[in-house]
Each structure stands twice: as C-alpha cells, then as structure tokens.
Structure 1
Amino acid sequence: MDNRIDTTCVIVGGGPAGLMLGLLLARQGHDVTVVEKHADFLRDFRGDTIHPSTQQLLAELGLLDEFLATPHSDMSRVTLSWHGAELTLADFSRLPTARRVMSFMPQWDFLDLLAAAAARYPGFHLLRSTRIDEVVRDQDRRIAGVTGSGPEGVVEIRAALVIDASGRDSVLGASAGLMPVGVAAAMDVLWFRLPKAASETYPFVQAGAGMIITIDRGDFFQIAHVIPAGSWTGSDDDVARMKERIRSISPRLGEAATGLEVDDVHLLRVRLERLRRWYTDGMLCIGDSAHAMSPAGGVGINLAIQDAVATARILGPILGRRAPRPRDLRRVERRRAWPVRVTQAVQRGLQGPLLSTTEPGAPVPLPLRMLRDHAALARVTGRFVGLGVRPERVE
C-alpha cells in the first residue's frame, strides 16, 4: 500500500485521553501517531471541566503555567441552589494538589494545549481529517494496526500497539470483538446556549424540580438540563415542556429561554457502560471507549486522562523492548477498572436525585441536608470529584 505508516503506537482519537497518552509516550522517546477524524478540535457541547487531579498532572509535566495563561475560570467549591437555598456539594480547599479548584476551559483550547506540548517531541505525529474504520490483523490474528481514509485516500498504520481512545461511539472495539456491559441510564442531558448580559450570573447548579447546570462562557451561558431518559423526541411540544421545567426551576432562566427552538437544543443520550474486557492481543481501549460515563460530576475527562497516565506508565517501558502482550494490557485494565466501577456506581445512585421534582418549601433531601450541616462531608465529596478514586501520577 502506497500510504502506509509504521509507528510504535497508534492512538485512534484526538480527545483528552488520546492526546495525553500521545504526549506521555512521545515524552518517553517513543514514536507515536495520534489519528483524529476531524480537521480541528472545535466541537461544541463537550465536557470542559479540568479537575484538580488533571491540573496536578499538568504541573508534573511543566504545563501548568501554559494552562493558566489560557482563558479559563475557576471554582473552589461546587454549590447548588435548592429552591433558592444555596449549599456546598463539594469543597476542594483541602486537596493535596497544585491547584485546589475545578477549572472550566473550552475543550478545544485544552486539546490544543496538549497537542502543542506533544508536538515538541520529534516522535509525536498527529494525523487530522483521518477516519479509522477497522483494525488490521497479522497472520496470527493479532491486531497489528488500523486502516481508514484520510485527505490522500486510504491509509494503513502498522504499530506494535493500537490504542482505541475514540470515545463512546467507537467502531474499533466492536470490530475487535470487545463488547460492553450496559448499565441502564435513567437520564439524558439537553445542551443549549443562552445569551449573557454584562455582569449577569446564575448559580452553577440549580435543582428542586429537575436540575440545570449553568456554565459561564464569558459572552454566553452554556446550559445543561437533565431530563428522564428517552423523553426527548425533538418536537415543538418537547421544547415547550422543557421551557416550562426550566421556568419552574429558575424563573429568571426560564424567561431567558423563551426564544429557544428545536434546532437550538442538542441531546446527549447518557450511557453508563464499560467493556467486559478492555483489551485484545495488540489493542487496548481507554477512556470512553472502555467506559462511557454519565456527565454527573464532570469526571469523564479526568478519568480518561488518568487511564492515559496509567497506560503510559505501565506500557511505556515495555514498548521500548517489545510489543506488549495481553498480560501487559491486562495490567492497565486491572489498574483502572476498579475506580471506573466505583465512579459508575456513584453516578448511577445520583440519577434519581438529579431527576427528582419537589415543590418550593418541601424539605431538603437528607443527603443535601447532611452536606449543608457538616462541612467535612463536602470535603469528602470534593476529594471524590477533584481527585477521583485512584488518582495517577506521571512518574
């Protein structure tokens, strides 16, 4: 084949997990190729929370100053407005990290930062506008690369290791025979934008009759509205019901949403699932390709990045000597599967409260009252959200 590339590791997917892993492996001196199907990273309604654990990793990589120089906003604690009464859900002030805040940065800016840092290493290569369709196997049926199409036609990439970091809708896992274990999701999320007037603010989380998350983007608000799973068909009636729910949660926000139409609303179908097995001979899945997360807590990006760090630490030294064997890939899964299971269990438990509807004046639910009345509990939830169950270190 004319357009054949040989590399040590090919990573399919230029998201947070893929680019972080590419950076770390190139930093170790490996030849690594990251393949991204889009021409750039400019997609809206993607997760943009950068947790304290990820900022700690950036500090270890010497990238924290570059991160802080990129426009962002910080939140030292996550607060919730329950029918107008504010309480703290998570407090990051006691974390043992370089920064004790959760930051908000458009994901495309964060990905540009990682890609630019990785490009400083001669072994790093980023192929844009290249769609990978299937795996390539050798004569022993071991996965030995991937094939797809790019700007110059068909492309084949041969590698000692294939990493699938292409996200929850990956086609590679299925083509390699890796099947997910589904966990029923009770909710979906509607995303939309609202204009912002100068100095206008809203609470980050508003609840009591469903839930709304408001992210301040500077010149507009990005809104996430949690709804029961399968209840959105994209009709005008759906939009009318959505506006009524928003108005019951936040009358002021409901007024701002009056002009929304069907085309303004984007649906995220929440899936809580993970692969039965994350690997096969020659290929490993990480991030959303291995475990689709709920947006609750915004932890998906940071779990994916921690997968990448563990993968680089475990497999990087092996790649310097030989192709990783299945038992090597299994070490990564064993390291990361437990925090994924714990996090998904918590997210599953949150689905009911996130969808609950109460009338103004109704008692605050017991878990929220406990957080309100015991500050130490908010620090515990802050550690869970900010660090994760099993944080990883670069070295």
Structure 2
Amino acid sequence: MGSIAETSVACVVAGGGPAGMVLGLLLARSGVDVAVLEKYPDFLRDFRGDTVHASTLNLLDELGLGDRFAALPQQRERRLTMEFDDGVIGEDFSRLPGRHQHIALVPQWDFLNLLAEAAAESPHFHLAQNAEVDGLLRQGGRVCGVRYTDKDTGRVGEVRAPLVVAADGRHSTVRDLLDLRPRSSAAPHDCLYVRIPRLPGDPDGTFLRFSATGGLIMINRGDYWQAALLIAKNMAQAARADDGAWTRRTIARLAPYTSERMAAIGARDIAVLQIRIDRLARWWVPGALLIGDAAHAMSPIAGVGVNLAIQDAVAAARILVPALRRGRVSEKELARVQRRRQWPTVITQAAQRKAQERFVAASIADDGAAPAPLRLPQPLRVLRHWRGFPYLLGRVVGLGIRPERLTGSLEPLSHG
C-alpha cells in the first residue's frame, strides 16, 4: 500500500470505498491486474455508511472472508423497530435464507481494511493511498487511463488501462471529468451526526424514531451512540447556532434517556451530511464505467447504499472479467453492467423517495410548532398486523432487489 509503481494494468479503479475495494478484490482474485487509487491516506473517516446487510455477508462467505469479518467489532441486529406517533412497524431478519439472519453495523474503516488486506494477498492487486485522480487519459475517443497526484510527494503520475472504473462516490471527480450530469430527485432533508456517550441502562439495539416533532436514528456503537438527526434542507447552520442548543434540545426530546449527557455536546461535535438521490442516464462511456454512488447516489434510508454499491461491483466483475482478460472492454459489455444493475437501483430509489415524502418530510422538527401526530399510512396500519409483514420487510431490506452471487462465475477465484 502507498504509491503505485505500475504504469499499466488491466483495470484502474478510482476510489477505495466499498464498491472500489470489492471490485479490486474480485478482479485480482480472477487474475486481472487492477490498481485502486484512493485519495485519502487511510480509511479512517467517521459517519460513513456502515450497515452491512445479509446480501453482503453472504458475499463475504463466498470469498472465504466470513470468519474474518465476524471477528471485527460490530453490532448485530436481528430485528429493527421503527416507532411512529401512532404505533410501530418492524423489520425482522430472523427468517432470511442462508447463514445470516441479521444485519451488521460495523465501522466502515474496519471493513475496508479487511478488504484491502484480503486483496493484497494477490499479486494482481495494487493499492495506492493518498493518490488523487485528477485527470483522464484518452486515445481514439476512448478513456485509456488516469492521471493522479501523489499527495505525499506532489508527484504527478499516470496509470494506463483498457478500463477505468469510477467508484469515487457521490461527488465523483471522474464523473465530472467525463462531463456526466446525474438527474437529481429533491430530498426534503439533510442529516446531523452526533456522538453521544452510551451508559449502562440505555437501550441495547438501534433505535429509530419518526415523529411529527423530529426524526432520529440512534446506532449502538458499544461505548457511544451515533445519532442521526433529520433536519430540513439548508437548516444546518441554524441547527449548530448557539453552540448546537437546538440540536441538543431536539435529540433529548426524541431520546429522553440522553438528556443529561447532551450538555457536553457542542457545535464542534455536529457533522452534517447533505442528502441527495440522483442517477446517471448512462453509467459508461467508451473505456470507463461508473458504479455505486458515482452512478446513483442513495439516501441513507434503510442503509442500503453500501450494499447496493457492492452489488454493482459484483455484477461488473462477473460481466467484465472475460473482456479484461482479453485486454479490451466493449461498449456492449459496459452497457450490460448498467442493464443488470439499473432496475434494482430504480426500484430502491423510488422506495426511498416515497419514504422521504411520507415519513421524513413530516419528521423534520420545527421548534415551537404544534404539528399533528405523524401517523402511519392506512396500508401500513393494516399490514403491521399481518404476522408475515416484518419478515417480508426484513427480506426486502436485508437481501435487496436482485442480490448478486459469485458461485461459479469468476474462475479462478484463488485466495492467495
């Protein structure tokens, strides 16, 4: 890990997040030389998506990494309950098919380090950190590599490849360099992240509260809570005013057991996540493919973003490995990746938009107001009494739409 000596590989991946690292691991284990360029010196950044669903846990088992992942510090949830003003609905993962009847909440930096270490066991994998992609190489109307800056030394380097994959997130540099513009859907909210000390006697599991006086998600991190408070768009400055007084009051109202310890929280402890949902009309150009948030930014609703991005990576590897072994990837093959992953993305984003409209917009706190209670829509009020509904909801969330499998599709898949 560090600077990269290779100047030519079969595939170069911009971005060392979950999609980029999984793709790099799969390609390397299939005998394809791949370079992953990550612009930061490490993976240690807080408040990243870290909900690992059963679809991803099953993939890790297929890769022989299940036991290594299980050894990471994590919280496992077999059930999630969402509380509303007039009742609750639940997601139950206990009847999911396969080995994993839960979702795992694990710090993303631990997950990414695991993937990097596993990928580094292959001589075909090359990782450069603190290497920021800031240009594209082109030849004959095709993208044929990247230009990057080594932020340790200031040196500018180039890596040539028949395929460049942009896995560099919702603010993708590669997407901007390709002059691709995603179509955005309005999101009524942003999110504030706050660390709150966790004490004996607090609830054990993840806590979700949607109310007419606010929306709050509390994730159990062992010795602290990672609190996600929903706020209206462009309200972040006001929420941090007076050293975060509004934020402290709102969280304490929605999670009363935190009231006394909120006094230690100030504006410096509040991080802001800008929520967006968008999608490219076309995820590729000759010589380049975009996956994960670079192709389709997701809302944090249901924690599906990481898992959807990983499914993109699996589909891309399965479809493109034969072409990468030949040394040239056609537009037809790039289009196949998009066709494979587009409709799961469309369906998931549609569900997120509906949830935003019905629950999130109504949950954005408005101090001083006396809003009507936030009630479940009539269909959910009926369905919550059906014994199978929590299991159905758990399956949709835990496995997602069209989960990808590896078995028999990426030979040889050596572990060394």
Taking structure 1 as the reference length, the TM-score comes to 0.94
Match of 1:157 among 156, 159, 176: 159
Query: Separation in 1 of the partners of 2:114 and 2:350?
Result: 32
Deviates most, 298-307 or 369-378: 369-378
**Counterpart in the other structure of 1:356:** 362
**Counterpart in the other structure of 1:134:** 135
Q: Secondary structure at the match of 2:237?
A: coil
Does structure 1 retain, via aligned residues, the 8 Å contact 2:243–2:266?
no
**Counterpart in the other structure of 1:325:** 330
**Counterpart in the other structure of 2:367:** none
Distance change >3 Å, CA 77–CA 88, structure 1 → 2? farther
Q: Offset of 1:318 from its aligned partner?
A: 1.2
Residue identity in the other structure for 2:294: S
**Counterpart in the other structure of 1:300:** 305
Query: Separation in 2 of the partners of 1:115 and 1:164?
Result: 18
1:372 paired with 2:405, answer no
1:231 paired with 2:222, answer no
Query: Separation in 2 of the partners of 1:305 and 1:313?
Result: 12
RMSD: 2.1
Query: Separation in 1 of the partners of 2:43 and 2:56?
Result: 19
Distance change >3 Å, CA 363–CA 391, structure 1 → 2? closer
- The CA deviation string for residues 117-157 of structure 1, in whole angstroms up to 9 with x for no partner, is 1111110010011111021111x121000001113411111
Q: Spell out the pairing of 1:40-79 with structure 2 (5 A cutoff).
A: 40-79=42-81
1:212 paired with 2:224, answer no
**Counterpart in the other structure of 1:383:** 395
**Counterpart in the other structure of 1:195:** 197
Does structure 2 retain, via aligned residues, the 8 Å contact 1:83–1:249?
no
Query: Separation in 2 of the partners of 1:190 and 1:284?
Result: 32
Does structure 1 retain, via aligned residues, the 8 Å contact 2:85–2:375?
no
Query: Separation in 1 of the partners of 2:52 and 2:393?
Result: 16
Q: Offset of 1:254 from its aligned partner?
A: 3.9
Gapped regions of structure 2 (runs ≥ 5): 364-369, 408-416
Q: Offset of 1:3 from its aligned partner?
A: 7.0
Query: Separation in 1 of the partners of 2:374 and 2:125?
Result: 56
1:282 paired with 2:287, answer yes
Q: Spell out the pairing of 1:32-43 with structure 2 (5 A cutoff).
A: 32-43=34-45
Query: Separation in 2 of the partners of 1:360 and 1:248?
Result: 17
1:271 paired with 2:276, answer yes
Q: Offset of 1:244 from its aligned partner?
A: 2.9
1:261 paired with 2:266, answer yes
Q: Offset of 1:335 from its aligned partner?
A: 0.6
Does structure 2 retain, via aligned residues, the 8 Å contact 1:17–1:165?
yes
- The CA deviation string for residues 222-265 of structure 1, in whole angstroms up to 9 with x for no partner, is 11111122222254158333233323322223443233211111
Q: Offset of 1:84 from its aligned partner?
A: 9.4
Distance change >3 Å, CA 317–CA 178, structure 1 → 2? same
Deviates most, 249-258 or 161-170: 249-258
Does structure 1 retain, via aligned residues, the 8 Å contact 2:84–2:374?
no
**Counterpart in the other structure of 2:17:** 15
Deviates most, 228-237 or 35-44: 228-237
Q: What number of residue pairs does the alignment pair up?
A: 392
1:109 paired with 2:115, answer no
Q: Secondary structure at the match of 1:163?
A: strand
Deviates most, 88-97 or 102-111: 88-97
Distance change >3 Å, CA 368–CA 124, structure 1 → 2? same
Gapped regions of structure 1 (runs ≥ 5): none
Distance change >3 Å, CA 238–CA 376, structure 1 → 2? farther
Q: Spell out the pairing of 1:93-104 with structure 2 (5 A cutoff).
A: 93-104=94-105
Query: Separation in 1 of the partners of 2:230 and 2:371?
Result: 17
Distance change >3 Å, CA 247–CA 360, structure 1 → 2? farther
Residue identity in the other structure for 1:124: F
- The CA deviation string for residues 356-395 of structure 1, in whole angstroms up to 9 with x for no partner, is 2587977555355335312312222111111111110013
**Counterpart in the other structure of 1:167:** 169
Q: Secondary structure at the match of 1:230?
A: coil
Query: Separation in 2 of the partners of 1:196 and 1:255?
Result: 12
Deviates most, 170-179 or 275-284: 170-179
1:249 paired with 2:249, answer no
Does structure 2 retain, via aligned residues, the 8 Å contact 1:10–1:159?
yes
| Identity across matched positions, percent | 44
Does structure 2 retain, via aligned residues, the 8 Å contact 1:3–1:155?
no
Distance change >3 Å, CA 349–CA 360, structure 1 → 2? closer
Query: Separation in 1 of the partners of 2:261 and 2:82?
Result: 20
Residue identity in the other structure for 1:212: L
